[in-house]
Amino acid sequence: MEMSRSKMTAKQQKFVKEYLVDLNASQAALRAGYSPKSSPKIGFQLLEKTRIQEAVQAARLRIEKKTDITIEKCLKEYAKIAFLDIEKAFKEDGSLKPISEIPEDIRRAIAGLETSTIRTDDNKIGTLHKIKISDKKGALDSIMRHLGGFDNDKSDDKQLKIIIESSDKVNINKV
């Protein structure tokens, strides 16, 4: 893969580096020094070149290895968020467990925790816990894109369109 990198021009190498920033070919071409007028077309054309694709893939693999962030780890995080059972954060009596007793999967999904004492005059009548769950999905989507985790989505040209018309009727149509 280093061989393909050596065959690239300095601008192409800069394009690969810039493309990995945000995966936007037009912006990467612009930042790599191509003209604003031609950067959308050039960005697209560069991504079609085998040596550019190889360089991008090699860079992604280096990033994956360096950061120890893999597609599998991201998918496991998706699963933790998707199947989050917030009940595990509470005791049987409904009170919030101490943070150290909350399972790690639950703690990792918590973005914020606010605790307030409910009072009437000088009497404490309860405690209110507000738990904000992280929107980690957005960050995970970005990581997955950077690692190429969604590249395989293009293999099936047909998409499913799911329309929910009422709570008891769901239509699924191939588009």
H or E element that contains 3: helix 2-6
Q: What is the pLDDT of residues 97-141, one digit of tens each?
A: 999 999 998 988 888 889 898 998 888 888 888 888 887 677 677
pLDDT of the residue at 74: 80
86 has a pLDDT exceeding 80: yes
Q: What is the pLDDT of residues 10-47, one digit of tens each?
A: 999 999 999 999 999 999 999 999 999 999 999 999 99
Strand stretches in 29-156, DSSP E: 110-120, 123-133
> Look-up: residue for tokens 């997955």?
144
pLDDT of the residue at 149: 77
User: Whole-structure pTM over 0.75, yes or no?
Assistant: no
Nearest alpha-carbon partner for 129 in 86, 81, 85, 84: 86
What structural domains and CATH numbers belong to the chain?
Answer: 1-68 (1.10.10.1400), 69-175 (no CATH)
Lowest mean pLDDT among 10-14, 55-59, 118-122, 157-161: 157-161
Vertex 170 angle, CA 164 and 174, to 5°: 95
Give residue 165's Cα distance to chain centre: 30
